[in-house]
Amino acid sequence: MSLRAPLARALHHGTARAGVSHWLIQRVTATALAPLAIWLLIALLSLPSSDYASVTRWIGTGLHPVLLALVVLIGAWHAWLGVQVVIEDYVHGFVTKTAALLVSLFVHVLVAASGLYALLHIALATPA
């Protein structure tokens, strides 16, 4: 039995069941980011030096490029979902809201792609 009004069904309005996946992905990425955030904080604070040679060696060595890639990718994904909700709540008007949502999506994809590119660049230049 469906509780949806016949008119809503005809207009294809009503739940698309997409809200749950947004909510769920936000929680799943949050769960993944919690340990990554703790690792990143401790790792950054315990960098022995901030000079070019030691920083690139640290970024490129062992699991560091993989963990940093996860921080960038999952971080950008989680941030995109979060910023989307903030825009939907505070930015009004169809055109402005849609434009803000699109800009946010493009910037987050750009951040993820740039971060991944930089990490690959550094990791491939560092002897494993």
Q: Does 25 bind another protein (CB under 8 A)?
A: no
Identity of the residue, 5 or 24, whose beta carbon is nearer to another protein in the bound complex: 24
Task: Tell me how crowded residue 113 is: count the other CB atoms within 10 A of its CB.
Answer: 13
What count of other Cβ atoms lies within 10 Å of the Cβ of residue 68? 23
What's the half-sphere exposure (Cβ side, CA atoms, 13 Å) at 57? 8
CB of 2 to another protein, least distance (A): 26
Applying CB under 8 A, which part among 4-12, 14-22, 79-87, 95-103 lies near another protein? 79-87
Distance CA 122, CA 112 (A): 16
Shortest Cβ distance from residue 12 to another protein (Å)? 19
Among 63, 92, 95, 128, binds another protein (CB under 8 A): 92
